[in-house]
Amino acid sequence: MRTEDIFPEALSEDRAYLIDGDMSRQPCVFYFRKSIGDDFATQVLRCVQYARSSGLRLDASVGTDGVYYDDDKSGSKDIERPGYNKLMSDIMSGELSGRFVIVRDQDRLSRRESSVLEEYHVITDLSKVRTFDSSGREIKDDVTTGIIAVLSRSESKITGHRQRARKELRAIQGKAPASRVKRIGYTLGYEAIDWEEAKMLRRARKKVVAGRSLSSICNEMREQGVVKPNGKPYFVTDLSRLLRNPAYAALRVFTRDIEVEGRVIPKGEVVARGSWPRIFTEDEHYEVVEILSKNKSWATEKAPKHLLTGILVCAECATKMAYGHKYGKKHKDGTKKRHYVYRCQKPRGGCGSVSRNADALEKFFIQLTYKAIKRLPVVVEKVVDTTGSEIARQQGKIDDAVQAFKDDRIDIATLADIRQDAQKKIDTLRKEQKAKPQPLPLDDAESFLKSKDIGKQRDTIRRFFPVVGVKAVGQGVRFHPDQLVFPE
């Protein structure tokens, strides 16, 4: 066996760096021992990672290109270990003097008989060779080493560790993630493309790129009877998660931070190009991810339904209060009264201890804001601001273009052009809008009171009262202005 057979292809660059890089680095050698149920690859991975991070150099002038190894096939006690014997004789002859020996873990040196380890300590000590495991612990004649020697006799203690390294290596090699469940778009184990599902993904991606909202795509799929493998309809969150998944462009990510070629790649980021079939090209993948991240609001963008959501917060835990209902005490006839309330909700991360009558709260804020508008100095010269309507006009352009694309009147490139152009204008207008002092959405007290546009009413209230806390008082839902907390 040659060392090329031991080092996985994915680590060849690392190996070259360890051998040919800066020659002033502390020289080391590796010792690998393959036992039943184990492999060289994960030992190599761990030792290479350790050597790189500690600034070591692999001394290729000794051993087999700097490596000593044993391929234990038998589980019997008196196994021949030519690699280990060669290592020991090189240590004794002084050939490895001043070098480090790196092993993945202590039990590579000796698992069964502690006498082997004792002998090892004596010889390495005499020959000025130090030994480290891949976590950086020095293996020497001390208590820890003794305890580990005892522990490592129980195979199970190290299995988890080994499996973790194996998973990392699979990721670096770009192998498909191991999974017991079938991923949408693929057959089990990413072996082949499930064409029906892949078609769904490709269509959805196209529509997102064309400017459609995820919710409208979901609605359309529901109408067409396109459902998840479990029979449930696709929701916005499903589609968003699927379309962002790099696996569809055969890009491999890892669930933890991982070190590749001396660089730490944070969890969830691309580690390697995968070897399984792709449903999107990389460009297609990055394109849709960019659009989805820019348009987070698409998923939820709807007219506000309730006057005070986003304004009221729980004064106990600062969670935004939501609109909902709550049942009161039982009447004599067994029925319960349903109260509509603003409340702090546990599912939204709140404490759940505050709920107040919605109608009373809304009436109170309408009156309060009405009075506040009346107190304002009369606007002699009406502020004319066309920015808002210009934004709406540009948005309309996009909508028209999307419709035209759907009707096959324009192609995707034209749509993209129109969209980009209009979006740029909208962004500029929004910036201008922010810089200018804004008139109230409803700047006349009477029209505020009469308005049927909850969104505008709410925006007007918010200009006076951006955030208002609501305190917990007793069990009921009755509202009193004393319960409100207005920030300074």
Q: Under the criterion CB under 5 A, does residue 314 sit at the interface with Zn ion?
A: yes
Q: Under the criterion CB under 5 A, does residue 483 sit at the interface with Zn ion?
A: no
Maximum alpha-carbon separation in the chain: 102
Q: Under the criterion CB under 5 A, does residue 270 sit at the interface with Zn ion?
A: no
Q: Nearer Cβ to Zn ion, position 39 or 316?
A: 316
DSSP collapsed to 3 states, the chain: CCHHHHCCHHHHHHHHHHHHCCCCCEEEEEEEEECCCCCHHHHHHHHHHHHHHCCEEECCCCCECCEEEEECCCCCCCCCCHHHHHHHHHHHCCCCCCCEEEECCHHHCCCCCHHHHHHHHHHHHHCCCEEEECCCCECCCCHHHHHHHHHCCCCHHHHHHHHHHHHHHHHHCCCCCCCCCCCCCECHHHCCECHHHHHHHHHHHHHHHCCCCHHHHHHHHHHCCCECCCCCECCHHHHHHHHHCHHHHCEEECCCCEEECCEEECCCCEEEECCCCCCCCHHHHHHHHHHHHHCHHHHCCCCCCCCCCCCEEECCCCCECEEEEEEEEECCCCCEEEEEEEECCHHHCCCCCCEEEHHHHHHHHHHHHHHHHHHCCCCCCCCCCCHHHHHHHHHHHHHHHHHHHHCCCCCHHHHHHHHHHHHHHHHHHHHHHHHCCCCCCCCCHHHHHHCCCHHHHHHHHHHHCCCEEECCCCCCCCCCHHHEECCC
- Give min distance, CB of 275 to Zn ion, in A: 50
Applying CB under 5 A, which of residues 350, 356, 394, 401 lies at the interface with Zn ion?
A: 350
- Give min distance, CB of 336 to Zn ion, in A: 24
Q: Under the criterion CB under 5 A, does residue 316 sit at the interface with Zn ion?
A: yes
- Give min distance, CB of 472 to Zn ion, in A: 7
**CB neighbourhood size of 399 (10 A):** 12
Q: Nearer Cβ to Zn ion, position 73 or 346?
A: 346
- Give min distance, CB of 316 to Zn ion, in A: 4
Q: Under the criterion CB under 5 A, does residue 8 sit at the interface with Zn ion?
A: no
Applying CB under 5 A, which of residues 351, 368, 449, 467 lies at the interface with Zn ion?
A: 351
Query: Stretches 21-29, 157-165, 318-326, 428-436: which one binds Zn ion (CB under 5 A)?
Result: 318-326
Q: Nearer Cβ to Zn ion, position 277 or 352?
A: 352
- Give min distance, CB of 320 to Zn ion, in A: 10
Handedness of CA 180, 183, 187, 189 (dihedral sign): negative
**How many residues of this chain interact with Zn ion, rule: CB under 5 A?**
7
- Give min distance, CB of 483 to Zn ion, in A: 13
Applying CB under 5 A, which of residues 116, 289, 291, 317 lies at the interface with Zn ion?
A: 317
- Give min distance, CB of 480 to Zn ion, in A: 18
402 residue type, one letter: V
Query: Stretches 10-18, 205-213, 348-356, 463-471: which one binds Zn ion (CB under 5 A)?
Result: 348-356
Q: Nearer Cβ to Zn ion, position 274 or 350?
A: 350
- Give min distance, CB of 351 to Zn ion, in A: 3
Query: Stretches 121-129, 189-197, 341-349, 428-436: which one binds Zn ion (CB under 5 A)?
Result: 341-349
Q: Nearer Cβ to Zn ion, position 155 or 316?
A: 316
What does the per-residue mask of binding to Zn ion show for 319-338, with x meaning CB under 5 A? Answer: x-------------------
Q: Nearer Cβ to Zn ion, position 317 or 454?
A: 317
Query: Stretches 67-75, 147-155, 290-298, 313-321: which one binds Zn ion (CB under 5 A)?
Result: 313-321
Applying CB under 5 A, which of residues 103, 344, 401, 418 lies at the interface with Zn ion?
A: 344
Q: Nearer Cβ to Zn ion, position 348 or 374?
A: 348
What does the per-residue mask of binding to Zn ion show for 292-311, with x meaning CB under 5 A? Answer: --------------------
Residues lying near Zn ion in the complex (CB under 5 A): 314, 316-317, 319, 344, 350-351
